[in-house]
Amino acid sequence: MKRIVLVAMTMMLVLSVAAFAAPTKITFWTTHRPPDSDDLQKMVDTFNGSQKDVQVKMSIVPGAETDVAKLMTAVRGGTGPDVYMLDRFTTAERAAAGVLEDLTPFIKKYDPNLSSKYLPFAWAESSFRGKTWSLPFDTDTRALYYRIDVLQKAGIDISALDVKNGPITLAKLKDIAFKFNKTDSSGAYSQIGFIPHINQGWHYTWGFAFGGQFADLKAGKVTPTNEGVVAAFQWMYDYYKALGPQKVRTFISTYLPPNNPPQQDTFITGSVPIVVTGDWEIAVLAQYAPNAKWGVTYIPIPKAGDKPSTWAGGWSYTIPKGSKHPDAAFKFCQWMTGPDGQKMYTLTSSHLPTIVSLSQDMSLFPGQHAFFQKTLAFASSRPALPVGGLFWDALTVAMNDVIDNVATPQEALQKVSDKVQPQLNKFLPLQ
């Protein structure tokens, strides 16, 4: 009898120790693709190898910045992940919809000073109604890239583009770019110097360049008809009128069709040697055009004397509602968005960190990346609205109408306001 009791107690002890020592397994979803997802996987492996309590399984899921259908249906069905990588500026939108867990109690418990460690604009994007819903991960900025080799071969003087001369004016850029335009025998463009709206030449990009304000969060209003934004759209209207909107469309259908492989991007092939894109392009160029000679400078300014502009985006880590292991999930988020994780990601993917201490370590920004780190000092960021996705899409429609010269900037932007403001009104007050 004594032996049975002894054996039973030993077994219970062993089992409870095993259960205690068994790691919590959590799932992590990202919509990133290679090469960035490869960098994330390396980070996950490092995290898993560094401790035994939490083991993470990463999955690449379909979706994009504004498309979180997979996340929503999974969370609704009770099969959501423990951690989801979310486009940071949509945090307010997803928090308002009720998809995310409030991280404030976890921050209080594990690191009450967490907010002071991050860049203020990033932390603001992660907040909504006084609570924190995501942890900022990376950020990025945009600049004007130009192919020195391609432009020099075409005999164009590009000294004005040198970053040492400060930002170039839009008028001067147009002069240089138009010298490069060529049409073939049928009249279609075979090369164009600069196409403002491709890659990262978004409505936000040019709106910020003209000093525009897209929303007034305190008043709870979207302001697409702000004079800076209208001026930016007017500049786009005129630029495309000079190029010929339908001819530009045909050029894009030919050389930048949907799902274009990165090797055939027009900046890589040289058919559009000037483009506005983000700091991640440094890694893309290293992979697909290692022998290209290229330079970076500020996004052009409307008139001489204006201050340069750019905007910063980036991603964040969230815990969707319904996670069964929120504490383990938070520990993982903390590591990935902490100094160790962000350092790894900055070096491998050529994005920028949102941690204050890292952003002052210039050794993390070799070569041209240092320029982007500098521009973070004057970067704007998109307003954190609970209707961020709807606003972006409506602005895109307006931008394309203006590019096609089928609407005036004022008309197109008024439509944006009419469409989005009623939806925003449902969430007031915002703060």
Partner 1 sequence: MTQSTRRNLRNGLLFVSPWLFGFLTLQVYPILYSLRMSFTEYSGFGDMTDIGWQNFINLFKDDLFWKSAYNTLYYTVLAVPIGVVVAIVIALAMNQKVKEVPVYRAILYLPSILPVFALSLVWVVFLNPKFGLLNRIANLAGIPTVDMLGDPTWTKFAIVLLAQLGAGGPALIFLAGLRGVPTEMLESAQIDGAGPFRRFFYITLPMITPVILYDIVLGLALGLQIFTQAYILTSGAIGGQGMAGPRNSLLFYVFYLYKTAFQYTQMGYASAMAWVLFIVSVILALSVFRWARTWVHYESE
Which residue matches tokens 């997803």?
94
Task: Give yes or no for a contact between 310 and 379, defined as CB atoms under 8 angstroms apart.
Answer: yes
73 binds partner 1 (CB under 8 A): yes
- For the chain, first and last CA: distance in Å? 68
* 92, 170, 252, 424: residue in contact with partner 1 (rule CB under 8 A): 252
Q: Is 99 exposed, middle or buried (0-12, 13-18, 19+ CB in 10 A)?
A: buried
* 98, 112, 130, 429: residue in contact with partner 1 (rule CB under 8 A): 98
Total Cβ atoms within 10 A of residue 114: 18
* 16, 104, 165, 254: residue in contact with partner 1 (rule CB under 8 A): 254
d(CA 26, CA 208): 40
74 binds partner 1 (CB under 8 A): no
- Pick the piece of the chain touching partner 1 (CB under 8 A) from 73-81, 324-332, 333-341, 354-362: 73-81
- Pick the piece of the chain touching partner 1 (CB under 8 A) from 43-51, 112-120, 146-154, 250-258: 250-258
Task: Give yes or no for a contact between 318 and 84, defined as CB atoms under 8 angstroms apart.
Answer: yes
- Pick the piece of the chain touching partner 1 (CB under 8 A) from 136-144, 158-166, 194-202, 287-295: 194-202
259, 344, 91, 117 alpha-carbon torsion, rounded to 10°: -160
d(CA 146, CA 273): 6
- Pick the piece of the chain touching partner 1 (CB under 8 A) from 149-157, 164-172, 204-212, 257-265: 257-265
- Pick the piece of the chain touching partner 1 (CB under 8 A) from 16-24, 147-155, 346-354, 419-427: 419-427
258 binds partner 1 (CB under 8 A): yes
Taking CB under 8 A as the rule, which mask of x and - marks residues 111-150 in contact with partner 1? ----------------------------------------
* 13, 22, 188, 362: residue in contact with partner 1 (rule CB under 8 A): 188
Site for partner 1 in 317-356 (CB under 8 A): 321
257 binds partner 1 (CB under 8 A): yes
What is the H or E stretch that residue 241 is in? helix 227-243
Task: Give yes or no for a contact between 390 and 419, defined as CB atoms under 8 angstroms apart.
Answer: yes
d(CA 351, CA 368): 12
The number of angstroms, rounded, from the C-alpha of 274 to the middle of its chain's C-alpha atoms is: 21
Q: Contact residues for partner 1 (CB under 8 A)? A: 64-69, 72-73, 75-76, 93, 96-99, 186, 188, 197-199, 201, 246, 249-250, 252-254, 256-260, 321, 387, 389-390, 392-393, 395-397, 400-401, 404, 406, 415, 419, 423, 426
